[in-house]
């Protein structure tokens, strides 16, 4: 009795969605769920390939279409001549590797984090020297938070397209940009601003988030457009 296998291919819209769908496939015991870089014909060059016996995969596809309704799925069926390893289709699921902090990565994160804080202190110091009202409306901190959101979206897009090495990600994204921008100071400054004037406090809290989000969106769009010119 020959085994019929089915292969489903779909294109997730973002890296997060891709990870989510792989995790879902793992949880449902799909034999293989692999993300790979496909031919670049537009938006996201990451494809997701699922492989299992036809009945198992088709049952999963119902759930998959619900989880990612806008990702078009194409399915092909092939007769498997040889399955290796022999238990591959029977629960031979690859589990995601557990997270382990690595010393060489930590060193890059540390260096980037120190440098990012230096840049933040420099901008905040200059801003408070230029405008004494920086204590009530800390636009220097707001500026580094918004600029950092812009830059991290550029790195995030390049990372998605596999242009950024792991070491660069540790130094620039987790280290430099993570430390350049700050959430704890942002929340504290909001309470301080609120005490001086609720309007300024709300403007600072809302403005940081709205500008930060728009900056990230701009960074992503700009990077995608520039990459397409290659």
Partner 1 sequence: MALAAEVPLTLLGAGLGAVLRYALGGWVNHRLGPEFPWGTLAVNVLGCFALGLLEGAAPRDAVLPFVLGRGVLAGFTTFSTLMLETLNLALSKEHDRASFNVVGSFSLGLAALLFGVYLGAEVVE
CB 4 within 8 A of CB 79: yes
Residue 139 interacting with partner 1 (CB under 8 A): no
CB contact at 8 A, 110 and 167: no
Radius of gyration of the chain (CA): 23
Q: Does residue number 189 form part of the binding site for partner 1 (CB under 8 A)?
A: no
Residue 1, token pair as written in the block = 């009795």
User: Which listed residue (48, 64, 112, 134) binds partner 1 by CB under 8 A?
Assistant: 112
* Least gap, CB of 139 to partner 1 (angstroms): 14
d(CA 182, CA 178): 7
x-or-dash string of contact with partner 1, 32-51, rule CB under 8 A = --------------------
Of the residues 148, 161, 200, 223, which one makes contact with partner 1 according to CB under 8 A: 148
Whichever of 60 and 219 has its CB closer to partner 1, that residue is 219
Task: Round to whole Å and give the CA distance between 24 and 93.
Answer: 12
Q: Answer yes or no: are the C-beta atoms of 6 and 76 closer than 8 Å.
A: yes
- In the complex with partner 1, which residue's Cβ is closer, 82 or 97? 97
CB of 81 to partner 1, least distance (A): 35
80 vs 218, beta carbon nearer partner 1: 218
Residue 197 backbone phi and psi in degrees, to 5: -165, 120
Alpha carbon distance, N-terminus to C-terminus of the chain? 49
**CB-based contact 160:100 (threshold 8 Å):** no
Number of residues that bind partner 1 (CB under 8 A): 63
* Residue ranges in contact with partner 1 by CB under 8 A: 12-17, 19-20, 23, 70, 96, 98-99, 101, 105-106, 109-118, 120-121, 125, 145, 148-149, 151-153, 156, 170, 173-175, 177-188, 190-191, 205, 208-209, 212-213, 215-217, 220
């Amino acid at each position: 009795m020959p085994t019929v296998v089915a292969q489903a291919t779909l294109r997730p819209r973002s890296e997060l969605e891709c990870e989510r769908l792989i995790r879902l496939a793992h949880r449902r015991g799909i034999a293989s769920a692999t993300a790979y870089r496909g031919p670049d014909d537009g938006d996201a060059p990451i494809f997701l390939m699922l492989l299992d016996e036809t009945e198992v995969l088709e049952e999963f596809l119902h759930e998959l279409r619900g989880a990612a309704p806008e990702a078009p799925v194409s399915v092909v069926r092939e007769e498997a001549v040889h399955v290796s390893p022999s238990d591959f289709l029977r629960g031979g699921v690859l589990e995601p590797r557990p997270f382990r902090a690595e010393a060489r990565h930590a060193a890059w994160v540390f260096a980037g984090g120190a440098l990012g804080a230096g840049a933040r202190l420099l901008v905040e110091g200059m801003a408070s020297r230029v405008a004494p009202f920086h204590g009530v409306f800390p636009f220097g901190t707001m500026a580094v938070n918004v600029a950092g959101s812009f830059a991290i979206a550029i790195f995030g897009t390049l990372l998605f397209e596999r242009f950024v090495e792991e070491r660069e990600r540790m130094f620039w994204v987790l280290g430099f940009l993570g430390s350049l921008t700050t959430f704890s100071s942002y929340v504290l400054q909001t309470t301080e601003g609120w005490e001086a004037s609720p309007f300024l406090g709300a403007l600072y809290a809302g403005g940081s988030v709205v500008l930060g989000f728009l900056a990230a969106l701009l960074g992503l769009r700009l990077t995608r457009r520039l990459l397409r010119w290659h």
